[in-house]
A and B are shown apart, each in its own frame.
Chain A
Amino acid sequence: MLASGILGISLDVFKRIHQSGAGAVVTKSLSKEPWEGYPNPTIFSVKGGGWINAVGLSNPGATNFAKMISQNKDVPIIVSLVGSVGEDFEFMVSQFENCKVVAYELNLSCPHVAKVGLEVGDDPELVKKIVKTVKKSTDVPVIAKVGLGTTHYLNTVGACIDSGIDAITAINTLRAMAIDVETQRPILSNKIGGLSGTPIKPVALRCVFEISSKYDIPIIGCGGISTWEDAVEFFLAGASAIQIGSAIGDNWLEIFNEINVGIEKYMERKGITKIEEMIGRAKKS
């Protein structure tokens, strides 16, 4: 599926991504009110691979967005939400009552915006309140996206599970920065951003492996997946599904089909008939 934060503001683009081979699309994280985000530069390409971004969660706000996707018929849309308190989330979920939404993904891990994202994820009590509130507000599955903050992410996952979460997405970007040596200043306007793409894949893979070893909860692997081998690694580590984000910057929308075909060929070669058969296999060895 398409990872949150990437390309996600227009229903027409969602349709195109779905047709390109993404099983589902996760929207940009939506807030209660529209946010403009940070000024440019907001995205930086790391030499050797990966991106650092501090877009600042720019989004049209839950109400406008719900109106935009109200006509959706065919695309499995997972709505990503970001907020500071349970009431924010409750309000936002109510906006999507008349929309076809397959799940909500709570962004508890954006590393570059104050008072939301990772700052929420680092507070297990707040996490519990938010998850319980959202679970009470909706019947569709609720996923929590976790990242590496000051609280051990496994404790955050535990708090989510205690509160009735249906699945975990792991992981978000990692706090990072870049400085230009000629002008001797940070490149991103926010100075600090989140590192994504191939450099974080081994970290994300380790997190998925650790979560699946400790808890019995469906996991969506996310972080630097750019090839079918990466995808299979995440399945073997314990992920039930995977998200693609940064790789689109290098391979454009063809990436979805390339990965799908690669996984199919691998399964055929290994005599695997269902993805379920390979989930968590690496834990047995």
Chain B
Amino acid sequence: MQRNHNHPTICTIEKVIDETPTVRTLIFSDDVMSNVLPGQFAMVWIPGINELPMSVMISQDKGKAAFTVRRHGPASTGLYNIGPGQQIGVRGPYGNSFDIKSGKLLLVGGGTGLVPLMRLITHLKPTDNVTVVMGAKTKDEVFFEDLANHLLQKNNHKVIVTTDDGSYGTKGFVTDIVEKLCKEVKFDGIYTCGPEKMMYKTVQIANSNNLFVQASLERMMKCGVGICGSCCVGENLVCKDGTIFDGNCLSSNPEFGHFYRNKAGILENY
């Protein structure tokens, strides 16, 4: 039967990688998910528990894809605890993807927000000059540094890690580094995904330097297809208009960087 992308395809988890004490990558075989564009997401059904929007992580193996999840609430912890041999349902892919520029590129990620950026790296040209800035709270929570270096081995590249407590890399926030870099380099494209405050600041810095920037937003989602309205940010729906938005659109959005909607749809402050 032809695959309906709105219908959950049942996939069996084949391998689990502990990235940090709170983050795991779950690998499974699926041709459709292995080929999604950077920034696209899937709705992931954890049978009996919940369904979550997840950016689709790359796998080094052909025909495979993954989800990288941090255990946080009941739903993400449910996914985190799925072991090899267990099944999940996957529908999608949904959403748009990064507008890929070439030349001098800056990728700014925090936590599991690095997932779409890793997939973006696999779409870059060997001639691109790529700087990746990744932030974590502490040394134990740094992940994908080696992966980024490995994926970029043919490129002129730099991977900069910051930790809030200074236990690894540069002490401070990724946005401090971004501010410094944007003064020195005229980037052809800046891409960011992670905590909204980090993206907000990154977009502000890029806009004030007249640099092209795109951010991948996250909101509560129920349907993923533009029906339920849960994921609206101002006049935009993250599932249908995003998840990728460019700097101009975000700078005129009154909710970006300030508010998100809770499960009842009430605006709350970040």
Interfacial chain B residues near A113, Cβ < 8 Å: none
Cα of A61 to Cα of B262 in the assembled complex, Å: 12
* Contact of B227 (CB < 8 Å), options: A6, A13, A182: A6
Q: Is A189 an interface residue (CB 8 A)?
A: yes
Chain A residue numbers with a CB within 8 Å of B89 are 180, 183, 187
What's the least CB distance linking A222 to chain B, in Å? 15
| Cβ–Cβ contact B10 & A252, under 8 A | no
By the criterion CB–CB under 8 Å, are B229 and A15 in contact?
Answer: no
A248 to B223, CA, bound (A): 12
| Contact indicator B222/A180 (Cβ below 8 Å) | no
Question: Is there contact, CB below 8 Å, between A189 and B50?
Answer: yes
CB distance from B244 to the nearest CB of A (A): 17
Q: Decide if A154 is an interface residue (CB 8 Å cutoff).
A: no
Q: How far is it, in angstroms, between the C-alpha of A51 and the C-alpha of B237 when the chains are bound?
A: 19
User: In the assembled complex, how far is the CB of residue B92 from the closest CB belonging to chain A, in whole angstroms?
Assistant: 11
B10: A residues at CB distance < 8 A: 180, 182-183
Chain B residues bordering chain A, tally (CB within 8 A): 38
Interfacial residues of chain B within 75-133, with CB under 8 A of chain A in the complex = 75, 87, 89, 91
Docked Cα-Cα span, A118 to B233, in Å, equals 32
Give the chain A neighbours of B6 by CB distance below 8 A: 45, 249
The one of B91, B222, B264 in contact with A35, judged by C-beta atoms closer than 8 angstroms, is B264
The answer, yes or no, to whether B166 is at the interface (CB within 8 Å) is no
- Report chain A residues within 8 Å CB of B234: 10, 12
Q: A7-B237, A10-B229, A185-B47 are in contact. Are A40 and B52 (CB under 8 A)?
A: yes
Q: Is the CB of A183 within 8 A of B229?
A: no
Contact yes or no, B237 A42, CB < 8 A = no
Task: Name the 9 nearest CB pairs between A and B, nearest first.
Answer: A45-B6, A40-B51, A12-B235, A7-B229, A34-B264, A36-B263, A182-B10, A9-B265, A41-B51
Q: Could you list some 12 contacts between A and B, CB below 8 A?
A: A6-B227, A7-B228, A13-B237, A37-B263, A37-B264, A40-B51, A41-B51, A42-B223, A43-B222, A43-B228, A53-B228, A58-B263
User: Which residues from chain B sit less than 8 Å from chain A, CB to CB?
Assistant: 1, 4, 6-8, 10, 43, 45, 47-52, 75, 87, 89, 91, 222-230, 232, 234-235, 237, 240, 261-266
Binding site for B on A (CB under 8 A): 6-10, 12-13, 15-16, 28, 34-37, 39-43, 45, 47, 51, 53, 55, 58-61, 64, 180, 182-183, 185, 187, 189, 245-246, 248-249, 252
- 9 additional contacts (CB under 8 A) given A185-B48, A249-B227: A6-B227, A7-B237, A37-B264, A41-B45, A43-B224, A45-B7, A180-B8, A183-B87, A249-B225
